[in-house]
């Protein structure tokens, strides 16, 4: 006993028949079958309207065309070939590495703030008696000698006269030198 009607086994055929490259004989057989099978006839009628709507809707889209030339493909192929070449890529990598190194160095310098060796970690060299002895000896060369004098000033050399000069009895403690002008040829 059948509880449910199973329907025609060919009911899918009308839906797909339009998409298939059927021969005239096959088409005739489907139409002949639809003439006797109400289910397939209804399916054929249903799919006709949907098929027409779809063909009409896709018609303007079928007119769309690409504006590409085959040169774009060759360009894509060549660029990929260049990208894959290790020989071309290697100098670029090293150049970039150098750039990054310089950038990192400059950044660290800016953050660190000075090129001097930090005083806290400056090496404490032991004092040498021999070096002290030779440092106290006057050099033989004239220029070095003056430099030595300037750098090794003794206490007596550091004594200077009073820089503030006060007038004494209305006069300065030295005579002011009047500038003497040369006689001119002026009639006055």
Partner 1 sequence: MKLAGHPQPAGDARTDRDLVYAARDGVTEAFDALFYRYRDGIFRLGLAITKDPSAADEIVIDTFARAHRALARLEPDDSLRPWLYRVAVNLSYNRRPRKNVVLSSLDDAADEALANEEGSPPNVAEQAELRRLVLGAVDELGPKHRLVVVLHYLNGLNLTEIAQVVDCPIGTVKSRLHYALRRLRTHLAAHPELGIEPSRPLLATGLRGRRPITAPVPLEDE
Q: Which stretch binds partner 1 (CB under 8 A): 25-33, 107-115, 128-136, 152-160?
A: 25-33
Which class for 166: exposed (0-12), middle (13-18), buried (19 or more C-beta within 10 A)?
exposed
Does 41 help bind partner 1 (rule: CB under 8 A)? Answer: yes
Does 9 help bind partner 1 (rule: CB under 8 A)? Answer: no
Does 3 help bind partner 1 (rule: CB under 8 A)? Answer: no
Tell which positions 93-122 bind partner 1, by CB under 8 A: none
Q: Which stretch binds partner 1 (CB under 8 A): 69-77, 89-97, 108-116, 157-165?
A: 69-77
Could you tell me the smallest distance in angstroms from the CB atom of residue 63 to partner 1? Answer: 6
Does 82 help bind partner 1 (rule: CB under 8 A)? Answer: no
CA distance linking residue 122 with residue 60, whole number of Å: 83
Does 1 help bind partner 1 (rule: CB under 8 A)? Answer: no
Could you tell me the smallest distance in angstroms from the CB atom of residue 119 to partner 1? Answer: 59
The gap from C-alpha 91 to its chain's centroid, in whole angstroms, comes to 18
Does 2 help bind partner 1 (rule: CB under 8 A)? Answer: no
Does 16 help bind partner 1 (rule: CB under 8 A)? Answer: yes
Interaction site with partner 1 (CB under 8 A): 5, 7, 12, 15-22, 27, 30-31, 34-42, 44-51, 53-58, 60-70, 72-73, 76-77, 80
């Amino acid at each position: 006993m059948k509880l449910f009607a199973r329907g025609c086994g060919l009911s899918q055929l009308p839906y797909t028949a339009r998409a298939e490259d059927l021969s005239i004989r096959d088409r005739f057989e489907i139409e002949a079958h639809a003439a006797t099978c109400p289910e397939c006839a209804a399916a054929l009628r249903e799919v006709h309207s949907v098929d027409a709507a779809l063909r009409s809707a896709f018609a303007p889209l079928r007119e769309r065309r690409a504006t590409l030339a085959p040169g774009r493909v060759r360009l894509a192929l060549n660029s990929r070939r260049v990208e894959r070449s290790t020989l071309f890529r290697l100098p670029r990598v090293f150049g970039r590495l150098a750039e990054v190194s310089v950038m990192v160095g400059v950044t660290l310098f800016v953050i660190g703030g000075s090129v001097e060796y930090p005083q806290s970690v400056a090496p404490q060299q032991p004092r040498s008696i021999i070096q002290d002895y030779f440092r106290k000896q006057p050099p033989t060369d004239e220029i070095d000698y003056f430099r030595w004098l300037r750098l090794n000033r003794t206490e007596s050399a550091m004594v200077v006269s009073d820089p503030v000069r006060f007038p004494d009895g209305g006069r300065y403690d030295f005579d002011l030198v009047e500038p003497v002008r040369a006689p001119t040829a002026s009639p006055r």
